[in-house]
Amino acid sequence: MIERVYRQTRKAKILERVIVATDDQRIYQAVEGFGGEVEMTSSSHESGTDRVAEVASRLDMAANGVVVNIQGDAPLLRPATVNELVKPLLDDPTLPISTASYRIRNPKEISNPNVVKVAVDKSGFALYFSRSPIPYIRDGTSRPTLFKHLGIYAYRREFLLNFAKLARSPLEITEGLEQLRALENGYRIKVVQSKYDSPEVNTPQDLEKIRKTFLHPRAL
């Protein structure tokens, strides 16, 4: 799965370099085995963002350079989604962080806590992320468009390193969502509405669905 994500990520022309960050020797050896670039990190990190920050701190790059965090459990990631994600930070040098969303089409995903939902303002900035359905449909008749969060991020290097120094926040701990640490500390997160879904593998059932999808050529 990691090899698949790695190779899909390498296809994103906007990226200069792709590095797998891990604290697991098995993953390290697997990445070396297929010729990928990999770095070991501390095993004490509470989130993927903290792990990426450790590797970013070692890189020789500008403070306003862009670092992209792509999780290794999304084998159907489209390179175009990575390009969509990074573009806002290239267009606006004041933006510290961006992420991606996708319109929910499967009603079962609305109540699935493994599918994180996101609500945004009129300018496309995140209002909140939750494992619960948001917005709540109070009258039972409204049919708002709901969006799920795709777990990829682009950060300014300086923001990323400062973010990793912040204490875990109450909402982050409650929901188990690292991006809430940014919102609770007053940072604005630009949310790009992607044209493509990027389902994650969180359960054995998810893995089986992904395996079936791989049998369909158009999914690749």
Measured CA to CA, the distance from residue 98 to residue 35 in angstroms comes to 29
> Does pLDDT of 69 surpass 80?
yes
113, containing H or E segment:
none
The pairing of strands 66-70 and 38-40 is: unpaired
Phi-psi category of residue 176: left, alpha or beta, with phi > 0 → left and psi -120 to 50 → alpha = left
- The pLDDT, as a whole number, for residue 217 is 47
- pLDDT for 85 equals 96
Q: Among 49, 19, 38, which Cα is nearest to 155's?
A: 49
pLDDT category at 86 given cuts 50, 70, 90 is: very high
Question: In whole angstroms, what is the distance from residue 193 CA to residue 102 CA?
Answer: 6
Render pLDDT for 129-173 as a digit per residue (tens, 0 to 9): 999 999 988 887 777 889 999 999 999 999 999 999 999 999 999
Q: How far apart are CA 155 and CA 149, in angstroms?
A: 16
Domain at 62-219: CATH code: 3.90.550.10
Q: What are the extents of the domains in the chain?
A: 62-219
Q: What is the pLDDT of residue 203?
A: 82
E-strand ranges in 53-205 read 66-70, 97-103, 117-120, 126-130, 147-156, 190-193
CA angle (54 as vertex; 53, 56 as ends), nearest 5: 60
Residue 104, CA atoms < 13 Å, CB-side half-sphere: 22
Report the range of poorest mean pLDDT among 10-24, 29-43, 70-84, 129-143. 129-143
Least confident of 31-40, 51-60, 131-140: 131-140
Region 94-122 average pLDDT: 95
Say if residue 213's pLDDT is above 80.
no
User: Quick one: pLDDT at residue 216?
Assistant: 60
Q: What is the mean pLDDT of the chain?
A: 91
Least confident span in 5-9, 94-98, 137-141, 159-163:
137-141
Mean pLDDT of the 13-22 span: 94
Asked if residue 219 has pLDDT above 60, the reply is no
Query: Are the beta carbons of 63 and 45 closer than 8 angstroms?
Result: no
Distance between CA atoms of residues 193 and 99, nearest Å: 9
Confidence of residue 199 (pLDDT cuts 50, 70, 90): confident
pLDDT at site 95: 96
